[in-house]
Chains A and B, each alone.
Chain A
Amino acid sequence: MSRFSLSDRAFDRVNFIFVLLVTLIIIYPLIFVISASISDPHAVNSGEMWLWPVDITLDGFNRVFQNDAIWIGYRNTIVYTATGVLIHLFILLPSAYALSRKELMAKKVFLWFILFTMLFNGGLIPTYLVVKSLGMVNTMWAIVVPGVIGAWSVLVARTFFQQTIPDQLVEASKIDGASDFYLFVRVVLPLSMPIIAVMALFHAVALWNQYFNALIYLSDEKLFPLQLILRQILILNEVSADSAATAAGAAQSFSDQIKTASLVKYAVIIVSALPLLIVYPFLQRFFVKGVLIGSVKE
């Protein structure tokens, strides 16, 4: 017996160190970004700053707070995310619940109807045409509605309902004369907090971080979400020599903006990622239950 516990203790040590190492590797870039955001850009660029902040300055954050475009983007992203998540839940939960009920006829057909969309899509132009014909181009709905639910989330949520809502419960309520609607709102939803939290968070993360739809569907700068603004600040710097952007007149104001960009780079990363990073630990306790039951036990 003691022989095993000895090797077990060694195992524990090694395992602990392994997990610690992985954790450190994963959080190091984040610590770097945090430190860089309050360090003198000079120290960051020269490599002097590598872990803790050097020559602490809040200049980057000040500039972020002064930048209107970032704030407008921020507000838009919040609005899009909140609206999108609400619609997402509103469509997802009832349909997944219906699909989980064995009384539903032609369930297989409905399921395949939804599953099939995982395999095939019509491509960008046809989708764009649909969005356009619904009058959504250059409105927030183009960001919120296309992709509001996916086949995957329907399947996951459906499995969750199958696992957690006992048939007896449904039948008992029905015998008591409850309608499906009443049952769903009063009985099913209160039992489904884990899946609601998980689905809401998944969708919120996707909406918060997407930029491609915005790039395609929005042209009014006042509607741009944060990620588009970030893309301009962080990545987009390919100004080709013969593009009209640099011709005719020196590129002064443009260059000023880019200079600002290198200052605010890290601060803006933090400001943009913070809300999600703050929210998710609170939802974390739901994950295990929600994800497990939802996705695996078929």
Chain B
Amino acid sequence: MTKKHADAIVVGAGWAGSILAKELTEAGLSVIMLERGSERTTAVEGAYPDSIDELRGAIRKRLFQNLSQTTVTVRNTIEQTALPYRQLAAFLPGEGVGGAGLHWSGVHFRVSPEDLRLRSSVVERYGEKFIPEGMNLQDYGVTYAELEPFFDKAEKVFGTSGEAYRVNGKIVGNGNIFDGDRSDNFPLPVMKDTFTASTFRAAATEAGYHPYSLPAANASSQYTNPYGCQMGPCNFCGYCSGYDCYLYSKASPNVNILPALRQDPGFTLISDAHVLRVDLDDTRSKATGVTYLETKTQKEVSLSADLVILSAFQFHNVHLMLLSGIGKPYDPISNTGTTGRNFVYQTITSSRVWLPPSKYTNQFIGAGGVGVAIDDFNSMNFDHGPLGFVGGSPVWVNQAGVKPIAAAIGTGGGGTPRWGSAYKGALIDTYKHSIGIDAHGSNMAYRDVYLDLDPTWKDAYGQPLLRMTFTWKDNDIRMNQYVVSKIEPIAKAMGATKANLVHLNAGQPFDTRHYQTTHLGGGAVMGTDPKTSALNRYLQSWDVSNVFVIGSNAFPQGMGYNPTGMVAALAYWAAYHIRTTYLKSPGPLVQA
């Protein structure tokens, strides 16, 4: 039987996959994109006003992964036995066309330039001994200047709203003073401040910090992107994260790329196709295609391809590499192997302060990507010397819109009533007069925090589950505590009458039962040394050169910023080098 062939197969129909599929079809390749979940359309998932049903949306996790088919197992430490993550809580991987790019909130950062060379930067300033024992601190192997054109391109495709600080060396606006130089302004003007954001902006300025507007892939006006795809403007309804935006104003692969991509005769999208493995030849150094399961018919199908792009969610990419035998699995005991190494997260805590009853913060208003932040305690923007930790954290007011059920669930507990008139009073007070402030920080990589295949648990398709070994480490807990301590004076300057400042505690283990963030990273990281990275600086597998692995799996450590902007830029970066170099002469772009 002859297998169906495509020049390139793209696994996963989220941002990374859609960008690579678009770039590769532009280059004239035939591309098949495989998506495990089903088709998703704004006409159905975003049909107003039914789409903003919170119970069906964020509470019952309409757009997220179906854990009854496959999930991960989780443990905190190597000596524990991992158990399956059976209910979505701590992190929420997407499923279906658009992937996490359909349910995300829209915060669209670039990267702090120093974060790309964090190891070098820390060593230059504080010496090698500053790095704690067991921390696998690494550089990305790519510079901000190299990635800049691709950040710019991604912003234009996403229709990102924001205010720049510096364009081509010239200060042009009130943006983030810690940002790298930009080649162009944001394509859309900055979104308006909510009342809480402007309150935070004033207080942070008063405290001597440098507030800036979060770059938002929530369109501040109608927009047509370079692919001809159109967006409507955001009306601050608050139904971003967890929802398909009915106004077509939150950037998603579905709105910003796929309408153009679907018109290309070289492009085929197959949904309900769960990829089981990348097929390798006998040398195990070349991929021959992929095998997937048609989930509706339970039939296995093999496709052949010259090029395979893994662009599923971060840990699904790592899982597929492990299942397929791409690269050597990481072993924390011998500290060898790279697939599964440097699994990272983000260190996020959410605090809340209350203003007097005369100030209405109207928490129901919001937009997922909108807010005001300070970077004074992020990345290498402050002196870590006396503090003794690596990393940092932006602090922000990101009023994304608190929905009614979330407000009700979020009130009470911790010694305060969960029912009765006191509960109701607190609920109303919080909904009308409170402000959420997050410390959304970095998370370093450690020798004993990693991903591998679970020895016991299997998914519905008979394949071993991916196992996460993860917990909070002292370096990141102290970083979080330090940054959260900086919120108090800002809260006072905001006129807060009450504050509930939340930080991690020493020795606190990772708890999967509460939502933290879906910003998982690492596990198949990019770098310059094949001993410590699974991918080279072009996100090409060191071991199987016709496999590129695109996603936050490539981050050597977790950064303080939201990852989507970086993922999109890395996707365009990898695509550029595939188009300009790899396709002309397939093979390793960097000699190991």
A and B held together in a complex: no
What residues of chain B have their CB less than 8 Å away from a CB belonging to chain A?
none
